Amino acid sequence: MLTSKQLQDIKNLQIVCEKHEDIHLKLNWDMLKNRTNSLDDFLHYKGDHLIGFLGLYGFGETYELCGMIHPDYRKQRLFQELLQEAIQSLRSRSVQKLLLNAPGSSTSGKEFVEKIKASYDFTEYEMKWNKKSLSINAADVQLRSATKEDIETIIDLDAKCFQVVRSDAESYTKRLLEESGEGNLMIEYNGTTVGKIRIQRVDNQSFIYGFAIHPSHQGKGIGRNALSKVVMMESEWSSDIYLDVAATNRNALKLYESSGFQTFYSQDYYQYPL
């Protein structure tokens, strides 16, 4: 579990690194703030100053990795040392798959993944809502909070819509509902649960994740109306609204763009053999 000082140190280092390269690091703050153990965080201090951080984020048997080194302390193999510590930890837990996350425009990130010979997997776009006027055309589309009874439905949606391995989806979903149940919503159409969407609020900003409509109900305008409801609801609370979408999901990308979202960053994922 990270202390309040460690969390603040990580935030301060993130600000420095992002400003240095004009990038956006995906550190999954909702997960960082809800750590229940110290197995997934690796910090390197010089005196009282944090100069390196690496975070692991588990999604079942698959783990993602994102980290940073202070610009003044790069090219000293510090991140390689943090990576080796993380790999040893993952191997002791028999983790099978590791994805390294690097901002698409990060020169240092690209140099590092080339050096360790990680193989490109996919790209994820980060999008921001530009306060476009939206309308809701379907009263039969409703949102409700997710409960434990929805776990199997959420797992099925992740497997069918995102091709997530069921064991990974099950592990992640159960932990997600335990740690932040209030931000997980189910989408109903004529009283039948057909989709899901997750909202995280941080520092007067809203982040949308895991938006999915069951394939049998796609193409009916359900997703557009559900997204409009969420955006209109969050716009009353948040100054900015963000979401992520995989570059391969062209239909979702078109929906988001037509709803007023524009890409402002991309995150590249690379697979590293364990």
Residues 134-166: pLDDT tens digits? 887 767 999 999 998 999 999 999 989 988 888
Could you tell me which residue, 126 or 178, shows the higher pLDDT? 126
90 in the same domain as 151:
no
Q: How confident is the model at residue 180 (pLDDT cuts 50, 70, 90)?
A: low
Strands 97-103 and 62-69, sheet pairing: parallel
pLDDT of res. 181: 59
Task: Specify if 123 maps to a domain.
Answer: no
| Tens of pLDDT, residues 76-106 | 999 999 999 999 999 998 888 999 999 999 9
CATH number at residue 189: 3.40.630.30
- Domain end point (choices 87, 117, 147): 117
Domain boundary among 66, 92, 117: 117
Is residue 267 pLDDT above 70, yes or no? yes
Q: List 195's β-bridge partners, or say none.
A: 187, 213
* Average pLDDT, rounded, for the chain: 91
From the CB of residue 142, how many other CB atoms can be counted at a distance below 10 Å? 17
Same domain, 85 and 151: no
**Among candidate residues 94, 117, 140, the one where a domain is terminated:** 117
Residue 272's pLDDT is what? 95
**174 and 92 in a common domain:** no
85 and 144 assigned to the same domain:
no
Find the domain containing 215 and state its range: 128-266
Chain-centre distance of CA 95, in angstroms?
Answer: 19
Residue 45 lies in a domain: yes
The reply to whether 112 and 135 lie within a common domain is no
Q: What is the tens place of the pLDDT at every residue in 47-57?
A: 999 999 999 99
- Residues 75, 152, single domain; the answer is no
Q: How many domains does the chain have?
A: 2
pLDDT higher than 90, residue 66: yes
Residues 6+ apart with CB under 8 A from 7: 32, 33
Residues 161, 88, single domain; the answer is: no
Residue 271 lies in a domain: no
The secondary structure of 44-106 as a DSSP string is: EEETTEEEEEEEEEEETTEEEEEEEE-GGG-SSSHHHHHHHHHHHHHHHTT--EEEEEEETT-
